[in-house]
Structures are given as C-alpha cells and as structure tokens.
C-alpha cells in the first residue's frame, strides 16, 4: 500500500511544538502497528509528546486511533447495565477483588479486564491465580455468558483489544516515556472504551506508592481521562485516592485474596471497606442504580455469593486453602511509641523483592510471598512488638526486602498525634 505520511514528518511536527493532524495520527498509529514505523521512530515521537504535550483534540484522536487498531466489544445485549473500574495501581490495592462481585450483587454487570503486576505495584490476575484452578484467559463467548449468569468477570484482556497500545506500552516502558500524560490517558482509555462498558470509574492514586506522586499531575491525568471517556459516550468519573500508605494490612498475592474475602464476609480492614464502598457507589450511580446501597450487599452475604460464583465460573475453588509461603521474617518495633508513617513504596518494593512481583513481564511470581503489617499509622506500638512480617519461599530474598524497608516507617514518641490524609481526596467528573 502507498503510505500517506512518513515517520520523520510526524516526529518533526511534534518535536517543533506543533499539533498533529487527524490524518497524521491515524497513519502513525496504524503504521506502527503494521511495523512500517520502526520502534526507534515511535520512541522519538513518544519523547516529543512527553516534552511538548498534546491538546485535547490530539489526545482524543490518538485514543480513537488506538481503539481502531483492534476489535470493540459490545455488551448492549446483556440484561443489566455495565460498569467497570480502573486503578492506576498501588500497594495492597486489592480493591477489584471485593468490588466486582459486590457491584454484581447490586444488579450491575462488571466486565473487569485486568492485568499483571510489574515492579512494586501488584497485579489483579496474579492475585487471583493464587486460587487453585482459577484461570484468567476467557474466550469472548465465555466472558459474555459469565456476565449474564454471574454478573462479574475478572479476566485478562484479549489480544484483539487495542493491539497498538500493547506494542506502544512495551516501548514506553524501556524509553523513559511512561510519564507522558497523553500516552498514559490514551493507553488506559483506549482499552476501556474498546471494552464496551457503559460506565467507568477511575481510581487515580496519588502519593509515594503511586505512579503519580504529585496531586496536580494526578488531577490533570484524571481530567484528561474523564474527558476522553465522556467524549466517547462512556459515563466516566474519577476519584483521586491516597497511596502514601499501603491499603489494608497485606501486600502480595494469596494474602491479599484472603483479606478481600474478609471484606466480602463483612469484616476486613476499614480502609479497604471504605474505598470498596466508595467506588461501588460511584459505579452504581454511573450505571443508574443509585437506589441500591452496596453496604447492604456486604452485610446480607450476597456479595460473598457473587464472589464464589465468579471464582467457580473461572475454574477456581473458593473454598480451597490458599498457598502459604515457606519462610517468614518478623520486623519488630525498637521502642514504645506511635507509628506515624508506613511508606507505600517501601512496602511495595519489599513485597516485589520477596517474590510477589516481577521485574520483567515473563518473570514468575510466588503466590505466598508478600508483606503483612501489624500496625497502621496512628496506632500505638510497644518495643518488641511485631510491626511487619515478610513472607517468601526463598529466604535469600529477605536481605534485599529489609533494605527496601529501611527508612520506610517512623515510630514517634508515645502520645504523638497523627493527622492522616483522607483516603478519598477528591472527585473529578
């Protein structure tokens, strides 16, 4: 075929601070997907976008071109409305696990296409794969059948959704261009719009353990993504949530599943319950079901019933024992006082080094590895009390995990007051 543009022309336009035309955007995304534009050329364009930005039209057209590179799903034939959630990633962020069955128990179908962990942020699929028999890969027909019968699916995205994004995402990861807001926003939203959900709630994390450390940049990202979803006809809202302290009491795979089951049973850590309910209420409102209070579905056991049905539908045994790490190491408090800080990044890196996460996409993970913390900021501790338990099958990993935690928490004098950051910081709609 005859090419309508060339890569150098498009790169030069953005390098010099210009705006790209719809024709240029459509061509370069398609040509990169086909292999006509080389990795080094797309790397140069990604860097130009990082440095010079894109306006709202360019981001919308770039997102549309990414969507057009693959298939689109259609849930209009389902008997109930659909809503999805996307988190920008954090530490101990197991929220999808109780959230999907909870929203399903409220009458809204949840097609949750999730990913695997990379680096210090955990992956939803890695967590669920610690359940014996559970499988992440479903054919589109299976996905549709499960949405109709159970109401919730958490599975891997198929290769047909936004293949341009899969190729570009891998390139950004190794070229220092991950932080470009236009590329982050189009990456997330191309997949979510192509997925076909009717409503979308975005959990944009802010803080040390988040991708976005700065609140202003997190807000900018949230605003861009909400605009993209809205322009595409998807009812979209975003919550800015704190990720300076890890969520719940665990960071890992099997241990986060166990904590999620506690939430579905009506217990669990207060912050996990709070965020699960906040996101559930936003999803229900966006899907037109404000009449249902998700707290009631936690209390009456129907959310737990949805969880068990969802796990069984994907081959898992919700009653099976979860894997347990073979080795453990306890970190104790050195003095009496008040825990005033537990750094999310330090905990996330420690869990990753223990084997709960991976450095490369192809690396395996340990189902039982991770970190459990026995106190949260604001709580009193005594000398010798366990603060953290490190879990792994490979004890040679303990030293590097302990190094990650060095300086990652503070214990102040007894009686010190602690002023916590609100979990939900703001809403963008």
Interval 2-44: pLDDT, tens: 888 999 999 999 999 999 999 999 999 999 999 999 999 999 9
Tally of domains in the chain: 2
Alpha-carbon span 204 to 240, nearest angstrom: 5
Predicted pLDDT at 359: 74
Same domain, 288 and 380: no
Same domain, 152 and 240: yes
pLDDT band at 387 (very low <50, low <70, confident <90, very high): very high
pLDDT tens digits, 205-226: 999 999 889 999 999 999 999 9
Alpha-carbon span 345 to 246, nearest angstrom: 8
pLDDT band at 129 (very low <50, low <70, confident <90, very high): very high
Same domain, 270 and 338: no
Catalytically active residues are 86, 165, 172, 187, 191
Same domain, 309 and 331: no
Given a cut of 90, whether residue 115 has pLDDT beyond it is no
Task: Please state whether 176 falls in left (phi above 0), alpha (psi between -120 and 50) or beta.
Answer: left
Tell me, yes or no, whether 42 lies in a domain: no
Pairing of β 337-342 and β 386-392:
unpaired
Same domain, 296 and 153: yes
Same domain, 342 and 289: no
Same domain, 306 and 342: no
Task: Return the SS3 of 386.
Answer: strand
Tell me, yes or no, whether 96 lies in a domain: yes
Nearest alpha carbon to residue 281 among 88, 108, 30, 422: 108
Task: Return the SS3 of 224.
Answer: helix
pLDDT band at 331 (very low <50, low <70, confident <90, very high): very high
109: domain CATH number? 3.40.1030.10
* Structure tokens given for 320: 């099976």
Tell me, yes or no, whether 52 lies in a domain: no
Same domain, 303 and 389: no
Write out the H or E segment, with its range, that includes residue 424.
Answer: strand 424-428
Considering the chain, what percentage of its residues have pLDDT values greater than 90?
88
Nearest alpha carbon to residue 223 among 182, 191, 194, 192: 182
Same domain, 348 and 296: no
Task: Please state whether 382 falls in left (phi above 0), alpha (psi between -120 and 50) or beta.
Answer: beta
Segment 127-146 mean pLDDT: 96
pLDDT band at 426 (very low <50, low <70, confident <90, very high): very high
Same domain, 293 and 360: no
Tell me, yes or no, whether 392 lies in a domain: yes
Rg (CA), the chain: 22
Given a cut of 70, whether residue 118 has pLDDT beyond it is no
Tell me, yes or no, whether 46 lies in a domain: no
Same domain, 145 and 238: yes
Tell me, yes or no, whether 343 lies in a domain: yes
- Report the predicted TM-score, pTM, of the whole model to 2 decimal places: 0.94
348: domain CATH number? 3.90.1170.30
Same domain, 199 and 305: yes
Considering the chain, what percentage of its residues have pLDDT values greater than 70?
99
Domain that holds residue 404: 327-412
Asked if 343 and 408 count as a contact pair (C-beta separation under 8 A), the reply is: yes
Tell me, yes or no, whether 104 lies in a domain: yes
pLDDT tens digits, 282-295: 999 999 999 999 99
Mean pLDDT, all residues of the chain? 95
Predicted pLDDT at 151: 97
Greater model confidence, 331 or 171: 331
Query: C-alpha angle 169/171/177, rounded to 5°?
Result: 85
Task: List strands edge to edge, sheet with 337-342.
Answer: 380-381, 337-342, 409-412
pLDDT tens digits, 64-110: 999 999 999 999 999 999 999 999 989 999 999 999 999 999 999 99
Alpha-carbon span 242 to 226, nearest angstrom: 19
pLDDT tens digits, 339-356: 999 999 999 999 999 999
pLDDT band at 185 (very low <50, low <70, confident <90, very high): very high
* Structure tokens given for 343: 């750094």
Neighbours of 252 (CB within 10 A): 32
Tell me which residue has tokens 């995205």: 157
Alpha-carbon span 140 to 249, nearest angstrom: 35
Task: Spell 365-401 as b/e; 16+ CB within 10 A means b.
Answer: bbbbbbbbbbbbbeeebeeeeebbbbbbbeeebbeeb
Q: Which residues pair with 240 in a beta bridge?
A: 204, 426
Predicted pLDDT at 2: 82
Tell me, yes or no, whether 165 lies in a domain: no
């Amino acid at each position: 075929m005859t090419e309508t543009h060339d890569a150098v022309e498009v790169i030069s336009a953005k390098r010099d601070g210009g705006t790209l035309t719809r024709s240029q955007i459509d061509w370069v995304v398609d040509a990169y997907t086909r292999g006509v534009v080389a990795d080094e050329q797309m790397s140069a364009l990604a860097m130009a976008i990082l440095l010079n930005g894109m306006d709202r039209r360019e981001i919308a057209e770039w997102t549309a071109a990414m969507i057009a590179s693959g298939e689109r799903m259609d849930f209009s034939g389902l008997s109930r409305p659909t809503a999805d959630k996307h988190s920008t990633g954090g530490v101990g962020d197991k929220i999808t696990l109780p959230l999907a069955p909870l929203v399903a128990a409220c009458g809204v179908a949840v097609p949750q296409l999730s990913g695997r962990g990379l680096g210090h942020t955990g992956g939803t699929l890695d967590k669920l794969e610690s359940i014996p028999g559970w499988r992440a890969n479903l054919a589109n027909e299976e996905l549709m059948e499960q949405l109709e019968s159970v109401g919730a699916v958490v599975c891997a995205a198929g290769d047909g959704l936004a293949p341009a994004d899969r190729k570009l995402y891998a390139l950004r990861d190794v070229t220092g261009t991950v932080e470009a807001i236009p590329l982050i926003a189009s990456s997330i939203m191309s997949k979510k719009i192509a997925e076909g959900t009717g409503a979308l709630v975005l959990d944009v994390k802010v803080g040390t353990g988040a991708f976005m450390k700065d609140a202003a940049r997190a807000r900018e990202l949230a605003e861009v993504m909400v605009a993209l979803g809205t322009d595409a006809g998807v009812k979209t809202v975003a919550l800015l949530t704190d990720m300076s302290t890890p969520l719940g009491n665990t960071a890992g795979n099997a241990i986060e599943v166990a904590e999620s089951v506690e939430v579905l049973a009506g217990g669990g850590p207060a912050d996990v319950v709070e965020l699960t309910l906040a996101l559930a209420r936003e999803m229900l409102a966006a899907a037109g079901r404000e009449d249902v209070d998700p707290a009631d579905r936690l209390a009456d056991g129907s959310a737990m019933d949805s969880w068990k049905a969802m796990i069984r539908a994907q081959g898992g045994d919700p009653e099976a024992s979860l894997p347990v790490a073979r080795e453990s190491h306890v970190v104790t408090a050195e003095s009496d006082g008040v825990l005033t800080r537990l750094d999310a990044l330090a905990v996330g890196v420690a869990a990753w080094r223990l084997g709960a996460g991976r450095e490369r996409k192809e690396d395996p993970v340990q189902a039982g590895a991770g970190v459990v913390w026995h106190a949260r900021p604001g709580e009193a501790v005594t000398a010798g009390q366990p603060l953290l338990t490190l879990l792994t099958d490979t004890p040679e990993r303990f030293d590097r995990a302990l190094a990650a935690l060095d300086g990652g928490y503070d214990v102040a004098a007894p009686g010190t007051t602690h002023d916590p950051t609100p979990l939900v910081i703001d809403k963008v709609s």
